[in-house]
Amino acid sequence: MQVLVRDNNVDQALRVLKKKMQREGLFREMKARRAYEKPSEKRAREKGEAVRRSRKAARKQAQREGLIPGPKRKPRETGAR
């Protein structure tokens, strides 16, 4: 993984790196590797994740087709600050 540091701004580069690592799932993998996970537990976890992904995909598809309403949208605040 590679991140460019612009104008010696290390803080911004660090934020970008953390975001990339989060997107790739590195933090979740590091947390999972802290302790041994039995093969049966691993199968159960992966199956649960697959079920969750498939339900999410089905929900999104139903929303696109208009079968169920989409998520509630927050009203925009129009006020002077």
The whole domain housing 36 covers: 10-65
75 domain-assigned: no
Give how many domains the chain has, as a whole number: 1
Tell me the pLDDT tens digit for each residue of 14-65.
Answer: 999 999 999 999 998 999 899 999 999 999 999 999 999 999 999 999 999 9
Output 50 or 81, whichever has higher pLDDT: 50
Q: Smallest Cα–Cα separation from 21: which of 2, 45, 37, 4?
A: 2
Q: Specify the pTM.
A: 0.59
| DSSP code for 8 | T
Q: Residue 53 falls within a domain, yes or no?
A: yes
